[in-house]
Copies of this chain bind each other. A is one copy, B any other.
């Protein structure tokens, strides 16, 4: 056997030898009631956190998938308004159905129901008096009305003329180019919404969900609900069956959000309908059912710009002149949110949670070391057992090696390294 061969063989066998080795830390095993109890108590707290909170409560043994969903809605209901004292005859005696009060007719993840309105029919482009409640429109002469200036938050552009107001006799206001006559921005009834009857409207919510990771699909209209039941049922949170009914009376929704429909209907508002799916796939997927919660999103106590309204118009022609009906629509915007997750037992998250959780057990050793080594009377004795002092050739010359200093060393610099 040559020298080269010997080196190769030697290298080979050393290389192989590392596969048959095993390193384990040397442990100082101390029998002591005081420290033992402290040690076990801290470990107990950490284990309780790990098992009770991470594994059991937070389902640390499951892998999760977030819900993906599509949601559509269909509002049903009609209301007949019959106002004898109403200033606008067009609205006095008429029926309102879905296309009249759901605006826009289709919205992704939301629907709006008009509950109140200011109706200004038959507007046309022209010159007329500005609403006297606007700012900077009162005038005494034409000089007060700068031609071409837009009225701040107003309805038009000043023509430069100052004219008598018909709405507020005795007052003079600027004339404007606008859609005439301009809107009279006051609700027809103070405390009652025009379409208060909309509280009896119903909405069918169709929600199809999917957990792509697990390849599972479901809808909120359950297989167990037959078409007969679905025709007549109404959501009711306190009934075990009807709390799964996908048809909601609007008043039930606002009630579930802690609001009075009648109050909200006057100035409008925004209500969130949350559909929550919390599925534990370790049980049958059949047990996984939606939970509905409702919450008002806008501020009911807002002093400024309260509620929810917007203006829209229907345009038409009359003898070749474009006209429009302007509607300031107050109403409730229902926003749909679908949340949820599905969990299923899986080995990987369980191991990772146990692994990272056990790492926390090192804290027990750190704390006990401080007690054992520096707070017990026999600390010096334990120190000598725990530490093997080795002096390097470039050791720093320490004049006096005090016990105090070992404490700070241990606490501030070294201790976490022991584990």
Q: How many copies of the shown chain assemble into the complex?
A: 3
Tell me, rounded to whole Å, the shortest Cβ–Cβ distance linking A306 to chain B: 9
* A30 contacts partner chain B, Cβ-Cβ < 8 Å: yes
A23-B414, A398-B13 known; A221 and B302 CB under 8 Å? Answer: yes
Q: How many residues of A contact B (CB 8 A)?
A: 156
Tell me, rounded to whole Å, the shortest Cβ–Cβ distance linking A146 to chain B: 13
Q: Is the CB of A270 within 8 A of B13?
A: no
Q: Quick one: CB contact mask for A276-302 with B, threshold 8 Å, 1 for yes?
A: 000000000000000000000111001
A13-B398, A31-B396, A315-B314 known; A297 and B208 CB under 8 Å? Answer: yes
* A239 contacts partner chain B, Cβ-Cβ < 8 Å: no
Contact of A408 among B18, B104, B156, B405 (CB under 8 A): B18
Tell me, rounded to whole Å, the shortest Cβ–Cβ distance linking A236 to chain B: 17
The SS class assigned to the A binding surface is: mixed
- Residues in B with CB closer than 8 Å to A57 are none
Q: Is the CB of A20 within 8 A of B43?
A: no
Q: Lowest 8 CB-CB distances: which A-B pairs, in order?
A: A32-B392, A70-B297, A20-B36, A105-B312, A99-B313, A31-B395, A20-B396, A14-B405
Query: Can you spell out 15 A-B residue pairs with CB atoms less than 8 angstroms apart?
Result: A10-B402, A11-B405, A16-B396, A18-B409, A19-B36, A23-B27, A24-B418, A26-B386, A104-B104, A105-B311, A106-B333, A107-B107, A204-B305, A219-B302, A358-B416
